[in-house]
Each structure stands twice: as C-alpha cells, then as structure tokens.
C-alpha cells in the first residue's frame, strides 16, 4: 500500500520543489510512487533530477499502441464503469478549452495510470497543478481508480477555471491544497461553501540545502540576480528596461538572469538593442548548486512577475539571506514584508521597479544583511519542507488508512 504523485512533467528543472516535497513525504514514512504524463529528460541538468527521473514512470512513454491497449483492457474488464467514465469525459471535455479529442486522450492516459496504480497497490494519488494531470487523475478515479488530491499553484488554474474544469476537479477530490492564503481564497470562489473544509494550505518548501547553507557576507559589488523561467509572466523584459534606465543614470549594476525559456530570444534582442551585454548575463538552465552560487553572489534577488502563485525562487533567495524585490501580487505579500526583508512593487510598474533597485544598490551592506536575516527566519518558520510534509502526511493519512 502506497501513495503516488502525478505531475504533467516530472522531474522538471524549474520544479525542484516537487522533488523536495516527495522526498520529505517519504521521510515521514510514506512510500511514494512517481508518475509523469510526459517526459522532460532532455531538459534535465541537475543530478538530483536525474536520480528522480529513474524512479518515474511516464504515461505517454507507452506510445499510441500502449494507450489503445489500456483502453481496450479497461473496457473489457469493466464495461459499465468505462462507459460511465466516457460519458463523464464528454461532459467535462465539451466545456473545456482543449476540446473533446484531447480529453479522450486524457481518458486513455487514465486507463494506463489505473492499471499501474492497481498493480502497485496505490491507495491515493496526489497531483501538482490543477491542469491536465489532475484531469487524468480525476478520470482515473471515475474508472474506479484510487482517490486523488491536488495542489493548485496559480495563476494558470485561476485564469482558466472553466476551461480546465476546476469546479469538477475540486468536487471529486478528497482534498485540495493551496500554496498560500491567497491561493486558497481563489479556490473558495470556485466551489460550493459546503466544500470549503476540503481546502487546505500547505506551503511549498525549501530543504536543508538552503536552510543550513552559510549565507556569508553580502558582496559590495552591484550584482542583482533573477531566477526563473524566461517567459512573459516573469517580467524579465521589464527588468531589462529597468537596468537600461539605471545604466543611463550612471548607476553601477549587473544583472544575472538564471534560467531559460520561450522568451529568451526577445530578452537577448533587447539586451543587444540597448548594448547591455556588459550589464546583463543569461546563464541558461542551472543546477541547484549553481543557482545557490548565483544568489549568494548577489546583493538582492529580483522577480518582477505579472502572474504568480508564490515563487519558490523567492523562498530560496530569502533562505540564503538575500533580500527580495518583487511584485505585489497573489501570495507574495504573505512572505515579503516591505522594509523588513525586501521591496514590493506594483506589477508592470517600471518606474517603481527602478526606484526599488536604486534603493537596493545604495543601501548599506549591514542593512541588507539584516533584511536577509529576517527573510531567512521567515522562510525557516513558514516554508521548511519537512514541516510542510508533516501537514501533507496528516492529509494523506485520512485517505490511506
């Protein structure tokens, strides 16, 4: 008897917090089976993610023939259950933004997953992100599979409530997790108040690699760092513009963008257009150890996002004793306190962002270190992965025993 985790793509370099959570849950005495809808092995750079990949079974790895065989076996073994699940798939798929054909594929994936879970003796499955992977878990349940729960991060789930069938997913789940008070409040909006008692808060967490890491002295050099996928919602284009203005003012500064993604091209073009090659560096994907070094080499961490849940990268930076400049959105103000451990700016406001960065670069090292220390204390108290795993264990126990 065991627990399973399902993620759309696992492991993934930008989602190391899921790997940490699984390991912390296992440390609580619950064995965990790992499943992924698709493989992301081509993008793995961290040895810890490579080790996680070897423990993970990939549903789409069975190929089209494997999906068809799973559907046929499920239909033969329990035709009534399958036809009911097919009808349910039609109902949710007809209202979705992905369409019916895609949802029939989700049903086939659910057939594969159900067979694997039965053979492994899995009693409950937990999913990260309330999008397609949770749909697969819900359809697996409709086929007679185990109970499921899921963690909602945002903002995608809240942007596409009807399109992803969020209401149905909450209704049929054993419980649902929000990663912040804000996140849970958004879940309150999309279910009946009689279901509110199944909505819980479990923070994403950092582990001992961050909590026990000596932070050292913040460097005098005017280094800033931003860690995150290079995409529109993270706001890196506005960050490049902010650096351009500071450079034009004659303010010494250097920004390291740690990560990669679909927006790398436009960001590089803007850097070249404004001749900022000596002021901005893009590293591409980095290992966990490399990310730590980049953060420790900075005066502050910057993330001017437009849409977030509560970024784990912010927690990592605070745990390493670096104050944070970020946007006043979603769950971020629950962790970042202006004047205490960082600066909050309105999302999309370049003028205020420039002002905050100017303050970071002109603030004395002693004050920055005090802010970093308060940030590290907040993370240790609210985002310790072992403490959060204990909360999950209590929820899982209600499903497993």
Domain boundaries, given as residue ranges, for the chain: 2-205+384-400, 209-382
Whole-number pLDDT of residue 264: 97
d(CA 274, CA 263): 17
d(CA 116, CA 57): 9
Strand residues in 39-193 grouped as ranges (E): 56-58, 122-128, 147-152, 175-178
d(CA 271, CA 374): 34
Q: How many CB atoms lie within 10 A of CB 46?
A: 19
Is residue 70 within 8 A of residue 111, CB to CB? The reply is yes
d(CA 282, CA 257): 5
- Helices 132-142 and 100-120, packing angle to 10 deg: 60
Whole-number pLDDT of residue 1: 60
Helix (H) or strand (E) holding 118: helix 100-120
Whole-number pLDDT of residue 45: 77
Helix (H) or strand (E) holding 327: strand 324-327
Helix (H) or strand (E) holding 280: strand 280-284
> Can 2-205+384-400 and 209-382 be said to share one CATH topology?
yes
Q: Nearest Cα to 274, choosing from 233, 231, 245, 251?
A: 245
Give CA separation, 149 vs 93, 109, 240, in Å.
20, 18, 39
- 85 contact partners, CB below 8 Å, separation of at least 6: 107, 110, 139, 142, 143
Whole-number pLDDT of residue 401: 81
Whole-number pLDDT of residue 42: 67
Q: How far apart are the first and last CA of the chain?
A: 10
Give 116-123 contacts, CB < 8 A, sequence gap 24+: 116/35, 116/57, 117/4, 117/33, 117/145, 117/146, 118/145, 120/2, 120/4, 120/33, 121/1, 121/2, 122/1, 122/2, 122/3, 122/4, 122/33, 122/146, 123/1, 123/2, 123/3, 123/147, 123/399, 123/400
- 322 contact partners, CB below 8 Å, separation of at least 6: 215, 218, 225, 295, 296, 298, 299, 300, 301, 372, 375
pLDDT tens digit at each of 401 positions of the chain: 689 999 999 998 889 999 999 999 999 999 999 999 998 776 787 888 889 999 999 999 999 999 999 999 999 999 999 999 999 999 999 999 999 999 999 999 999 999 999 999 999 999 999 999 999 999 999 999 999 999 999 999 999 999 999 999 999 999 999 999 999 999 999 999 999 999 999 999 999 989 998 878 999 999 999 999 999 999 999 999 999 999 999 999 999 999 999 999 999 999 999 999 999 999 999 999 999 999 999 999 999 999 999 999 999 999 999 999 999 999 999 999 999 999 999 999 999 999 999 999 999 999 999 999 999 999 999 999 999 999 999 999 999 88
Can you identify the CATH homologous superfamily of domain 209-382? Glycogen Phosphorylase B; (3.40.50.2000)
The token duo for 246 is 């500071």
Can you identify the CATH homologous superfamily of domain 2-205+384-400? Glycogen Phosphorylase B; (3.40.50.2000)
């Amino acid at each position: 008897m065991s627990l399973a985790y399902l993620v759309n793509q696992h492991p993934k370099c930008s989602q190391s917090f899921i790997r940490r959570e699984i390991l912390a849950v296992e440390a609580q005495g619950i064995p965990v089976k790992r499943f992924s809808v698709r493989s992301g092995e081509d993008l793995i750079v961290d040895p810890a993610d490579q080790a996680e990949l070897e423990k993970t079974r990939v549903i789409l790895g069975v190929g089209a023939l494997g999906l068809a065989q799973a559907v046929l076996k499920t239909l033969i073994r329990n035709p009534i259950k399958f036809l009911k699940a097919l009808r349910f798939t039609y109902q949710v798929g007809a209202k979705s933004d992905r369409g019916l054909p895609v949802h029939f594929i989700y049903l086939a994936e659910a057939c594969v997953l159900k067979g694997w879970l039965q053979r492994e003796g899995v009693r409950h499955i937990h999913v990260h992100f309330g999008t397609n992977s949770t749909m697969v878990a819900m359809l697996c349940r409709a086929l007679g599979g185990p109970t499921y729960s899921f963690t909602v991060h945002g903002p995608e789930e809240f942007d596409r409530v009807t399109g992803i069938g969020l209401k149905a997913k909450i209704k049929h789940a054993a419980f649902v997790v929000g990663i912040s008070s804000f996140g849970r409040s958004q879940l309150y909006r999309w279910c009946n108040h009689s279901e509110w008692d199944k909505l819980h808060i479990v923070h994403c967490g950092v582990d001992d690699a961050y909590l026990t890491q000596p932070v050292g002295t913040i460097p005098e050099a005017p280094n800033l760092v931003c860690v995150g996928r290079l995409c529109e919602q993270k706001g890196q284009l506005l960050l490049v513009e902010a650096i351009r203005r500071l450079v034009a003012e004659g303010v010494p500064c250097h920004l390291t963008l740690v990560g990669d993604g679909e927006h790398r091209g436009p960001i590089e073009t803007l850097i070249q257009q404004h001749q900022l090659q000596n002021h901005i560096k893009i590293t591409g994907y980095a290992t966990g150890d490399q990310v730590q070094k980049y953060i420790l080499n900075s005066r502050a961490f910057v993330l001017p996002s437009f849409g977030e849940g509560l970024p784990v990268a912010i927690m990592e930076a605070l745990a390493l004793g670096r104050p944070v400049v970020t946007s006043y959105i979603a769950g971020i103000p629950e962790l970042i306190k202006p004047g205490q451990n960082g600066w909050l700016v309105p999302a999309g406001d370049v003028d205020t962002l420039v002002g905050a960065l100017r303050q970071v670069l002109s603030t004395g090292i002693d004050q920055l270190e005090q802010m970093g220390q308060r940030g590290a204390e907040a993370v240790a108290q609210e985002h310790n992965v072992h403490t959060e795993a204990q909360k999950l264990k209590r929820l899982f126990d209600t499903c497993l025993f």
